[in-house]
Amino acid sequence: GKDPGTGKMKTEEYTVNGPVAVMITTTAAELEGETASRFLFLTIDESTKMTEAIHRMQREAETLEGLIRKKRQDRIIKKH
C-alpha cells in the first residue's frame, strides 16, 4: 500500500503460521499477469470423459466390493 505521509508505495510484510491457501475464481480466459506470476494455478478437468469416470467410481463405491474396499482403507488409515 501507499504511505499516507509520503504517498509512495511501501512494503507491507505479513507473517502467517500454518498452511496458507487462496482460492480465486474467474470466468476470464486469461489471468492478469501480475496475479499469474504469484501463484501456482490448478484447474479442474470438466470434460465429459472425466465426468463419466467420476460417475463410474461413485457407482462402484456403492457396490459390495466398493464398500469392502472402503472398510479396508479405513482400517489402514486408522492403523497408520
Can you give the residue ranges of every domain in the chain? 45-79
DSSP secondary structure letter of residue 37: T
pTM of the predicted structure, to 2 decimals: 0.50
Closest CA to 58 of 47, 50, 66: 66
Tell me which amino acid residue 74 is: D
Helix, strand, coil in percent for the chain, rounding step 5: 40, 0, 55
pLDDT tens column, 28-67: 888 888 888 888 888 889 999 999 999 999 999 999 999 9
